[in-house]
Amino acid sequence: SSKLPYIPRDNISRVIKGNDLFVRASKRAYLFLEKFHISEKDVEKILDFVDSTYEKKGFVSLSDIPLGNITEENDELTLPVIRDAIYKKILSRKYQLNQGNILTKESSKQNVISLLKNYIAEKEICSFDEITNKVRGLTGVEDRRYAFQVLYDEMVRIDTNRFVSTTLVDFNVGEIDE
């Protein structure tokens, strides 16, 4: 913005945020995708991995993508910025990024919440730690909000760390009302 003194900083930020040639790196800092280093070999590996994983599972977690030498070649960037750059530069033409770094083809309702609900659907007992580990596996970060939402929507908490299926709990409405 110092090189464009007559253009308000907010206008510059708005244009950059809406432009697919940039990835947000931090507050008021953006990566210009032309400066993102990735070899053709790594591009092929990523595309092969994503295509084959999608065929098997019906989704791909952005955090599962093999990074090869990409982190070393872009050592000034954080892992989330690298993943966002890979998505925008390589995968966005073919895949849709859904909530929680889940890649699907076309728009999909499949996201971290739906995948976690599918994961616990057949479980009778589940720990909070187990679900937070699953969240970390899907998103690459520990986001307790996803774990809490799914566990409280689908199960009943029985102690600090354990939840059980609602099929194991019998609430006698008459006795509770008394």
φ, ψ of residue 91 in degrees (nearest 5): -100, -20
- Percent of the chain residues topping a pLDDT of 70: 97
How much is the pTM?
A: 0.67
pLDDT score of 108: 60
**Four-CA torsion 142, 92, 22, 41, nearest 10 degrees:** 90
Largest alpha-carbon pair distance within the chain? 73
Residue 164 · residue 158 · CB < 8 Å: yes
Distance of CA 25 to the CA centre of its chain: 16
pLDDT score of 87: 92
- Condensed to tens digits (0 to 9), the pLDDT of residues 122-173 reads 899 999 999 998 888 887 777 888 888 889 988 999 998 899 998 888 888 8
- Percent of the chain residues topping a pLDDT of 90: 30
> Would you place residue 15 in the very low, low, confident or very high pLDDT band (cuts 50, 70, 90)?
confident
Return d(Cα 10, Cα 12) in angstroms, integer.
5
pLDDT exceeds cutoff 80 at 66: yes
Structural tokens at position 121 = 């659907």
pLDDT score of 47: 94
Q: Which 3-state string (H, E, C) describes 35-95?
A: HCCCCHHHHHHHHHHHHHHHHHHCCEEHHHCCCCCHHHHCCCCCHHHHHHHHHHHHHCCCC
> Would you place residue 59 in the very low, low, confident or very high pLDDT band (cuts 50, 70, 90)?
confident
pLDDT exceeds cutoff 70 at 105: yes
